[in-house]
Amino acid sequence: MALPTQKQFQYWGIVAVVFILVIWGLGNVLTPFILGGAIAYFLDPIADRLEEWGLSRAMSTIVITLSAIFLFFLVFLLVLPTLIGQLGQLISTIGQIIENLPQTWGTFKDWLSGRFPSLDLEGTFMTDQLVSLGNAIQSRGGDLVTALLNSAQGVINVVVLLVIVPVVTFYMLMDWDRMIAQIDELLPRDHAETVRNLARQIDRTLASFIRGQGTVCLILGTYYAIALMIAGLNFGLIVGFIAGLISFIPYVGALVGGVLAIGLALFQWWGGTEVIDGATVEVGINWLRIGIVAAIFMFGQFFEGNILTPNLVGSSVGLHPVWLILALSVFGSLFGFVGMLIAVPVAAVIGVLARFLIKEYKSGLLYKGHVGKDG
């Protein structure tokens, strides 16, 4: 005999409260385990495919682990030093750009006035604001960067993640199917099939988003980084990395990366004077290179929207961009970094449960009333 609906809501409400309290109190402790579980979930289809080819689960896990170690060292040796170097130079360049904002604004104002004499750009409000912004960042930016780089706690956390996450991932990947089977055995027998159906919907949503969108982010980040470096943009690698990393939020990755890249392109190729063979030469604005940088992001957005996302993610993921941004904002604000890690899975669960409850509501008497009962 099934429990009354009111009792079921009470029990599930208690489970939800316990979950929130655990995340609230143990968020930092749980971070490597959540990351390890997420990576194991991401890699589980590869392990299943290797099992289909005849390998055991343990051997499949070992093959995946050795491949991941090889890729990690490859990235560490070839990409990471350049990435870190460009990041440091980018921070310095951004500080320099902000410091020179008043002068840049004056140059841009003179350029506009020369081509559009009717414009009145003599007001001092913008100049004053840029000066204030530059002074504020100059006075506090250095302290902030120094605090971040010299944070011993931050270094310890990174080391802990690098050590614990691979270990957790290895064991969870090896025991993934066994864990799922044990969880299935604990399901209430009266509702087991319903819970399984909901779990399959949640898995489809997460698989489409995490695995599919993760692949899209990797491809886009690689494309942006290589294309910008070929175009000759300074810090092209780090800009591509940033753009690819946040491409899971529709349009945001291309917008942030495009604004950053075009801003750096304007700074790099705006013109000025250069010393060539001992002579000072006036160099004009290189609109061609600036246009190439803009075209790279326009093509990337077209490629992502028309080819990558439809084929790798699917047309119906179940996570609306607004709902996703809201989940990331709320969970990030409440639980910090660990909240952002669980935001997507929790958003997927809430979305699937909301659709299930709406379906149940529309099939019940509260929605149909006497008409549905008599019909």
Show pLDDT as tens, one digit a residue, over the chain (375 residues).
556 667 777 777 888 888 888 878 777 778 888 888 888 888 888 899 999 998 889 899 999 999 988 888 877 777 666 666 666 666 666 666 666 666 666 666 666 666 656 555 555 555 555 556 555 555 554 554 555 444 444 555 666 677 788 888 999 999 998 998 898 888 887 778 888 898 888 888 877 777 777 788 888 888 988 898 888 888 788 888 888 888 777 677 778 888 888 888 887 777 655 555 666 556 667 788 888 988 998 888 888 878 887 777 665 455 677 777 788 788 888 877 778 778 878 888 888 888 888 888 888 777 777 655 555
In a domain, 198, yes or no: no
Task: For residue 329, give every residue at least 6 positions away whose Cβ sits within 8 Å of its Cβ, in sequence order, or none.
Answer: none
Tell me if 193 is assigned to some domain: no
Among residues 137, 157, 186, the one where a domain terminates is: 186
**Which of 288, 297, 230, 286 shows the shortest CA–CA distance to 261?**
297
5 falls within a domain: no
> Which residue range(s) make up the domain with 375?
318-375
163 and 74 in one domain? yes
Please state, in angstroms and rounded to a whole number, the distance separating the CA atoms of residues 248 and 317.
Answer: 12
The answer to whether residues 246 and 349 belong to one domain is no
**Is position 31 within any domain?**
yes
Based on the fold, state whether residues 220 and 299 are members of the same structural domain: yes
Same-domain check for residues 51 and 175 = yes
For residue 114, is it within any domain? yes
- Asked whether residue 228 falls in the same domain as residue 341, the answer is no
Residue 112 lies in a domain: yes
Compute CA distances 256 → 35, 36, 60, 80, 263, whole Å: 25, 29, 39, 22, 11
Same domain, 263 and 360: no
Same domain? For 306 and 158 the reply is no
Specify whether the CB–CB gap between 267 and 99 falls below 8 A: no
**Pair (133, 45) in one structural domain:** yes
Are the C-beta atoms of residues 91 and 235 closer than 8 Å to each other? no
Query: Is the residue at 37 inside a domain?
Result: yes
In the chain, beta strands by DSSP E? 272-276, 279-283
The model carries a pTM of 0.64
The domain total for the chain is 3
| Whether residue 322 sits in one domain with residue 290 | no
